[in-house]
Amino acid sequence: MNTLTRRGFLSASAAVAVSSALPVSAQGPSQRQRPKPDAKQSRNVPIVISSGNGLRSTTKAIGMIRTGADPLDAIVEGVRIVEDDPNDMTVGLGGLPNEEGVVELDSSVMHGPTHRAGAVAALRNIKNPAAVARDVARRTDHVLLVGDGALKFARRIGYTEENLLTEEARLAWLRWRARLNRDDDWLQEDEFDLPARSNTGRQSRADQKPIPFTYGTIHCSAVTPAGDLAGVTTTSGLSWKLPGRVGDSPIIGAGLYTDNEVGSAGATGRGEAVIQVCGARTAVMRMEMGDTPTEACLYVLKLIASKTKLKRLLNAAGEPNFNVVMYAVRKDGVYGSACMRGERQFAVSDERGDRLEECAFLFPER
Ligand code: ASP
């Protein structure tokens, strides 16, 4: 294990650069299959990285950073584009609701230069939880506000309430609700006109219609030309969740962690798994110890895999049957992302332009 201290990290960037160029054969099977995006970079700032749904956000944020904006302001404005987009059913307006049909949003922010953090959880009726989280960091002495308290705070400082449940999300929730239990009094669409229902349960053509289920969130981390960092994660969380369920996104150290001396990391995917290994904090700690961002992301995923013990969460091969995607960027602009399985992309904006890149992965798609 590389045991570089933080002081060592800062004074030995050359050593880190060498470690990022280690032969891929030393890094486990998943990395051998894809080029490591972080292998050849040196100082690459400013940079903004994001989850695959965040290309508009990284583009917006890097533009603001180039004109001198604070990195946190830049990424909060960047993710606002996706929070405001009713067609993204994983974030903000249009996010899929909880089991009662109510949209509840989670978000956290961290500002590297001041090491301030702010977060809101289970926030209703306000479509930009990332901005509210930033206000928690800036205007209060607290880090996390939840539920009614978060909503009251947002109202008091001038946020406008609105209905976040779009018609598309409401219809998806109705389909999910109707399919939940064949023996309750909710009917599926093609049963509305049937004269009677059998006591032995119903089989409906509507069973064939897909019901969206998100895992989905936007994470965004940025580094300015001066090497200052910020991070944000914002989400509507797991669709059909229990009211009050809080995922990893608003938990500092789980869905987000930023250390101005080291780097910033975030997570999307099954929040319960990320919380249980303090995912983002662990990724930043691994970078502090000398891992490249991609290695740090893979480390967290391996940790999650090794700690996933419940049979209902494992596939036939004994691997987690859910996905998690980790994102990480180092203070010098070296970046990476990795997913638990399959093919995923993440967004990058830097001097080479705005683009989607392939994530490394721990397990191939089965
Ligand atoms: N991580 C989010 C949560 O667990 C959901 C997601 O990213 O899909 O709430």
237 pocket-lining for ligand 1 (C-beta < 6 Å): yes
pLDDT at 110: 98
140 is catalytic: no
215 pocket-lining for ligand 1 (C-beta < 6 Å): yes
Burial class (CB in 10 A: 0-12, 13-18, 19+), 122: buried
Burial class (CB in 10 A: 0-12, 13-18, 19+), 110: buried
pLDDT at 349: 98
* Cα separation, 15 vs 45, whole angstroms: 19
In this structure, the residue with its CA closest to atom 8 of ligand 1 is 215
* Cα separation, 61 vs 55, whole angstroms: 10
* Partners of 325 in beta bridges: 268, 339
pLDDT at 42: 64
The atom number, within ligand 1, closest to the CA of 247 reads 9
Q: How far is the CA of 236 from the centre of ligand 1 (A)?
A: 8
Q: Which of 104, 238, 325 to mutate to test the pocket of ligand 1 (most atoms within 8 A of CB)?
A: 238
pLDDT at 28: 41
217 pocket-lining for ligand 1 (C-beta < 6 Å): yes
Q: What is the pLDDT along the chain (366 residues), one digit of tens a residue?
A: 333 333 333 333 333 333 333 333 334 444 434 444 554 546 899 999 999 999 999 999 999 999 999 999 999 999 999 999 888 787 888 888 899 999 999 999 999 999 999 999 999 999 999 999 999 999 999 999 999 999 999 999 999 999 989 888 898 888 888 887 767 776 766 655 555 544 444 444 444 556 666 556 899 999 999 999 999 999 989 889 999 999 999 999 999 999 999 999 999 999 999 999 999 999 999 999 999 999 999 999 999 999 999 999 999 999 999 999 999 999 999 999 999 999 999 999 999 999 999 999 999 886
**Sign of the torsion angle spanned by Cα atoms 331, 334, 339, 340:** negative
In this structure, the residue with its CA closest to atom 5 of ligand 1 is 237
pLDDT at 189: 64
Q: Tell me the pLDDT tens digit for each residue of 336-362.
A: 999 999 999 999 999 999 999 999 999
pLDDT at 27: 41
* Cα separation, 255 vs 252, whole angstroms: 7
pLDDT at 329: 98
Whether 25 contacts 9, CB under 8 Å? no
How many alpha carbons fall within 13 Å on the CB side of residue 244?
A: 2
All domains of the chain in start order, with CATH: 2-12+40-363 (3.60.20.30)
Q: How far is the CA of 214 from the centre of ligand 1 (A)?
A: 8
Burial class (CB in 10 A: 0-12, 13-18, 19+), 269: buried
Q: How far is the CA of 121 from the centre of ligand 1 (A)?
A: 12
Decide: helix, strand or coil at residue 105.
strand
pLDDT at 16: 32
Instruction: Record the pTM.
Output: 0.83
Could you say which of 59, 90, 217, 233 is catalytic? 217
What torsion, rounded to 10 degrees, do the Cα atoms 68, 71, 74, 75 define? Answer: 160
Render 136-198 in DSSP notation, one character per residue: HHHHSS-SEEEHHHHHHHHHHTTPPP-----HHHHHHHHHHHHHH-TTSSPPPGGGTT-S---
Q: Which of 235, 245, 325 to mutate to test the pocket of ligand 1 (most atoms within 8 A of CB)?
A: 235
Helix (H) or strand (E) holding 69: none
